[in-house]
Structure formats: C-alpha cells, structure tokens
Structure 1
C-alpha cells in the first residue's frame, strides 16, 4: 500500500508565490477542516501528512476530512484516515471524471471500488460527487447524473454523509436530490450558490460548507448565503491546496489557514470567534461523527 505520508499528485496550476505563508494566530476553540486534499503536493516543498496535521493542530485545527476524487486519491484518503486519528476520509469519483470513465466502460468498476472503501469505519462520507456543468458539456452530462445517483445510493447504503461538488449546476443538483432522495447528512462542499439557494438547502436540512473564497472581493453571493444560513448548518473548509483566503491569495493553501476564514466568517456574522468555532466544531461532529472512534 502507498505510504500515506507521501503525496500522490502535484498541483498542476502551481501557486504564483510557492512559499507557504506564516501560520495565523491560533484559535482558542478548536475546529475542523471539513474538506481538504492533502494528497496534492503544493508549495516549494510539499508537506507530509504528519507535517500538515501538526501545523494545523498548532493553530487550533483538531482534524480534517481528507477527500478523494478518483480511485487512487480515494484509496489514499482511506489509508490516511486509518493511519491517524485526526483524519477522516471521503471517497468518490469526481463528476468531471465520470464521462471519460463511462466512455471507456470503467465507471461501474470505479464506483465498485468506492463502494468497498466506503465500508471502512473511518470513511465517513461519499464525496466529492455531484454535477459540474462548467467543465463538462452536454454530451458528458448523462454520465455525471449516472455517477451522482450511484454515489447517493452508496452514501445511503453505508449510512455516511455525502459531500457535493456543484459548479454551475445548482438547479440540477437540487432537483436530483429531491427526485432521488438525499442522504440524511448532505453537505454542499465549497458552497457556490446565493442566498436563495442557501435558504432552500437549509430548509431541506443540508449543510453548507464555506471555503476561503467567501473572503474574495467578488464573492458577495457567498457572504449573502452565509448570512441567511442557520448557524447549525454552517461548516468551514479549505479545499486545500486551492482557494487560499484573503490576504494570502496566490499562496499555497493548507488546513492551518482555516483560522483566517473562520475569523472572516465571524466578523461577517457579527458573532464572537469562539462562539462560531464551538458551533462549527459541533456541526462537523454531527455530520461525520467523532474523529477518535
């Protein structure tokens, strides 16, 4: 098996400024990074899994949900979770990979691997799965729907959460969840909708996970969505190594930078940072269960 301390992929669109930033001020109340890709190496020198987790712990990040996007990264994620109590895993075939797999007759076999991995006790979510109409054209959409519905079924089968990737497909994702029936714990990873969509999602009992892009100047829709989301439905994530929050855009992202996004969110919501942290931690544990079990 692959050593989970070694990264398996290199970020293709390497950051313009490759040096990792200095750690921010630690949070007094610990939170969790709800969605990260620690298998993707970034920066001048990629950090090992242990180095990432130690640095995150030093600023009040108690654990991470490591997310797979294909068979290889899903296996890596499951092994990382099995190797360290600060890691839980999510496993899936990314919607942008589904069309090529379907075209070559390999989609069913790939989903079978996800099914096997999702049975492991520290794999607590199926994801990231969903629909992406930004990168996939009309001809690839049937395969995305097929894959999405298969992943929904797996989340229900294994009684785990589901993390949704939704890009330029808001109505189709919501319609699919209504038609097929969403898993009990459904999370919109890196929520990208507006306030109206946030209300619909929260009313249906879904969780909304906000990443560093909520701090971007052109992301007022995300701040509007955050403002109307019930506190019990909010999660925080990095989507590292992507979406580094302001003022560090262009630098590598990692779980230890979560405090920047949390403090920004607390200011937007007009609440104390410690209060928001306590709520975010409770929400994370409600969705994924305890990290030490």
Structure 2
C-alpha cells in the first residue's frame, strides 16, 4: 500500500518560459497517496495544473498490468499524454512466484504473488506496446534494494525481455535502476542497449553519469536532484549535455525540496527544471527548449 502524504499539494511554481515534458509520471497513483481531506483534482485537473506552469506533455508510465492498460487508455483519451508500459522489476519477482528472505535484514515484499506468470505478463505488455500511443518500453531494469538472489534472477530475465521488446518495436527503453548500477550497465552492454535508452530518475554518481553519456544514454532527473543531501546527483547533472538531459516527477513520489513528504504531480516538473538550470548555470529558456526537443526526438510528437 502506498504511503499517505500528510499534507496537501505544494504551491505552483512560476511558469516556465518554454514548455517542457514530464519524462516519467504515474498519474493513476496520485489519488492513492493523498491523506484524508486532501482534494484530488483528478486526471483532467492534473493536466490543466501542469499546463498552467509550462508542463504541457507527459510520459505516463504503467509498470504493472493494470496500470499499463490504464496508461494506454489515458494516452488515447488525452493528447497531452503518451504511454510507457512494462513490468517493473519488483513486479517481475511477484509474477515469477519467488519467495525468499530479503537481503540485509529487510522485510521481503509482503504482497501476494501474481497468478499470471512472468512470461505471460511480458507477453501482455508486448501486446499493449504495439498501440500507437505507447512510445516507450518502461520502466524495466533491476532493483536490488529488497530482492534476494532468486528475485534478482527474475528481474534480470524480465529486464532482458524488455530490452529485446524495445529493440523489436524500435521504441525507447526507460530504465529503473535502484542499487544495481553496475549490473544494469553490464546487462545493457551484454545484450546491446536500444538506440534510445533513458535512465529514469537517475540515481548514479558522477562517474556513472559520465559512462552513460559516453554510451549515448539519456539521463532523466527527478525531484531527488533538489534534495539537500543530493550533492552527487547534482555533480552528475553537470556532466550531462543538454541534448541528453530530461526532467521528470515520478509523481506521486520524489516531491522536490522543500516539499518532501507532500504529494507530487506533473506541474512540479517546472520546479525541478528551474533548480537544474541554476545548478548547471544554464539559461532556463534554453534548457527548457533543449528538454522539449530531446523529448520529441525520443518519443515523437505528442
């Protein structure tokens, strides 16, 4: 169950001088994290609120079967959205039926295992990915935070299947990488990364950022880059050419500083874009122009 956000939505930031894209958001999940008494503006409300501050387009990510179907339908109904679909690495463990002790004394995922097997789940994602409104495969990758040895095997199997699917359909791949930096880079090198590979919510250090840039990958920064303790993330952001840089919210999670603990939504991509421009010493309008151009180069026109 998603953790409830104890306060309402943060105030709207100043409108951006040039409209941008929220590279990664989960609009279907925002209502789930709101505390009692916090009004949910609904999908249309979130789109209007984002548009008002210059976040005019979004990549809506569905990373389990239910949210993947929701994302495709939402993108068909709303021109501001394109969809990404995949089986999240932690969902892959549940589809594989793995039960194991989590590493480092962590509690294993308490959710029940899925009735649909991993191969069938990926087959359903592959069918959804053929919709013209699906513009990326993702998020897929490796998450070593909670998975033990058997769970990591299932995640790796799913990751390789998503890499193959992205290449088959000539779609970008959005990567989830949590505490698995070296292993993610290893799999991409072994299997051959899709031509357009995006590290969603980049969490590596400056050395990893430099390696990703060298390989031609795209790095997307979320609200985490604004956190007080995120100096390494900000050093990483300095190394990324504007043409390989993206901004996202990962809403409803990772709300930027100083609003941590409150619900996130796509309009706050404008806040993170402003912080990135300050950190990098970029002109905000020029950075926003580059972000929009890169987004359309990756995902096509909205």
Q: Give me the TM-score of the superposition, normalised by structure 2.
A: 0.91
Q: Of 20, 23, 33, which residue of structure 1 is paired with 2:9?
A: 20
User: Using the alignment, how far apart are the partners of 1:58 and 1:161 within structure 2?
Assistant: 28
User: Using the alignment, how far apart are the partners of 1:67 and 1:45 within structure 2?
Assistant: 23
Which has the larger displacement, 101-110 or 259-268? Answer: 101-110
Q: Could you list the runs of 4 or more consecutive aligned residues of structure 1 that deviate by over 2 angstroms after TM superposition?
A: none
Aligned residue pairs: how many?
280
User: Using the alignment, how far apart are the partners of 1:161 and 1:47 within structure 2?
Assistant: 31
Would you say 1:73 and 2:67 are equivalent positions?
yes
Alignment of 1:194-205 (within 5 A): 194-205=205-216
TM-align CA RMSD: 1.1
- Offset of residue 45 of structure 1: 2.6
User: Using the alignment, how far apart are the partners of 2:19 and 2:293 within structure 1?
Assistant: 10
- Offset of residue 250 of structure 1: 1.5
Would you say 1:34 and 2:45 are equivalent positions?
no
SS at match of 2:90: coil
Q: Give me the TM-score of the superposition, normalised by structure 1.
A: 0.93
Would you say 1:92 and 2:86 are equivalent positions?
yes
User: Using the alignment, how far apart are the partners of 1:150 and 1:45 within structure 2?
Assistant: 39
Which consecutive residues of structure 1, in runs of 5 or more, have no partner in the other structure? 1-10
User: Using the alignment, how far apart are the partners of 2:81 and 2:116 within structure 1?
Assistant: 33
SS at match of 2:147: coil
User: Using the alignment, how far apart are the partners of 1:47 and 1:38 within structure 2?
Assistant: 11
Alignment of 1:1-293 (within 5 A): 12-17=2-7, 19-40=8-29, 41=31, 42-43=33-34, 44-103=38-97, 106-291=117-302
Q: Paired residue for 2:112? A: none
- Offset of residue 16 of structure 1: 2.5
- Offset of residue 22 of structure 1: 2.0
User: Using the alignment, how far apart are the partners of 2:146 and 2:231 within structure 1?
Assistant: 23
User: Using the alignment, how far apart are the partners of 1:272 and 1:122 within structure 2?
Assistant: 32
Distance 1:105 1:76, change over 3 A: closer
Which consecutive residues of structure 2, in runs of 5 or more, have no partner in the other structure? 98-114
SS at match of 2:89: coil
- Offset of residue 105 of structure 1: 6.3
User: Using the alignment, how far apart are the partners of 1:163 and 1:228 within structure 2?
Assistant: 20
